[in-house]
Structure 1
Amino acid sequence: MSIEKLKIGVVGFGKMGMLHAGIVNALSEAKLVAVCEKNGLIRKFLSKILKSVSVVDDVEKFSNMNLDAVYVTTPINSHFPVVKRLYESKVACNFFVEKTLASNFGEAKEIRELARRFGGVNMVGYMRRFSVSFMKAKNLLDRGVIGEPISFKAYAYSSDFFGVKGNSKIRVPQVGVVRDLGCHAIDLALWFFGDFRVEDVKIESIINDSSADSAYFEVRGSNGLVGEFDVSWCVDGYRIPEVGFIIEGSEGTLS
């Protein structure tokens, strides 16, 4: 007896959209059936190579496709309006949204309320939590192997813009390095330690005057835990982005 595959749609067919579409098509339980992309040239190309996939220019055209889930992989500043329209058009109730969920806390809260109202399974693309190394670290912390955490240093580095000179015309993500890369370290720290308060922040513009390319900030938890974050996409030697931690406990160190 054959099992009917889950029907999946993808909104935004840039780098992450292509990645998730490829993963979906590699799963035996799911199939890509629809793509929404604003760029006409990309739509024309997709229509030629994805013969069995509906390619549209507006998310509301997903409405009559009976989709089981939708991946939203558009730029961060469009996540909120796209997700809101998908919910309100009743396209689906199961969503995966690339990080970060929204541009600000208010938008994120509204998306949360929509998710509660419509139900379903809802995820944000913080895949580092599913890394074997970080899952092991979480397990060790929960077991108290290093005692009570006292302090930590977290970093998120990449070489995406290493060597780029000041006032460059190279296009960088408008959301800045913290939301684009540093959010993974922040998410892991929240998972490891719970909520904390930001106490000091330093942002550096390297590529041009309006870009946020490097950030350092200090935090403090309610139990006295102190932490530091160092984030940059201008560091040599990180062709593949890397996130790491050094955690000092009352009975040992985890790194």
Structure 2
Amino acid sequence: MPNDRLRDAMLRKGLTPTAIAEHVGVDPKTVERWITQGRAPYPRYRHAIAALVRESESYLWPNAMPQERANRVAESEVVQVYPRRAAVPDDLWRRLISQAQERIGILVYAGLFLPEQQPQLVATLKAKAAAGIQVEILLGDPDSPEVAQRGAEEGIGDAMGGKVRNVLAFYQRLRDVQGVTVHFHRTTLYNSIFRFDDEMLVNSHVFGFPAAHTPVMHLRRLAGGDLFGTYTDSFDRVWETSVPVWKPVVAG
């Protein structure tokens, strides 16, 4: 059976079988067999290819990696676990934001703490977008029942919708910035997700506790793991159902 996942990953990165072959040191016909016949490369080749196309080994070759090793790799993707969001060092936030080179993604209900604690956030995001970095911000629709429910669960009632509107006052400066998109979502979030290239902070949501008081995982993507990819997929699925906060301006 052809390996369509590998083929698609190569196409998205603009890579040919010859380019893959040169990168890992095999004959191009061998790469063709990996694609057309679904043969699994040796582990050293799988690791190199997965890193090159920025996909996990478990995604490209779901049956090739023993479960025990897959579990160990997933554990290695966890850099640090913080007991509460307030324990995440400010310099970690600054490093992740400042060093991002390809993509910044923020998925929250409000996330008001971020621009409040990082006064240069909006200016940095504008500069990142100007440098060609994709910036995606997903906020809860303040008029949605999901935002109201989360406010009730945190014990702050209608204040959650107000926090969303407050954070928009910060992000208003990004309204006409090319490369920055701000959307509303109406999703029940089980985690807030903050992605910076191949690193991520995942803030769990716990019933009865504000997000500042709940655990955060610092993840770093590894070619052989799929824990990071799980949260990336979750972010992308919310994005697919979201709508722009501001309607595009139509010239008269």
- TM-score computed with the length of structure 2 as normaliser: 0.26
Name whichever structure is richer in strand by fraction: 1
Name whichever structure is richer in helix by fraction: 2
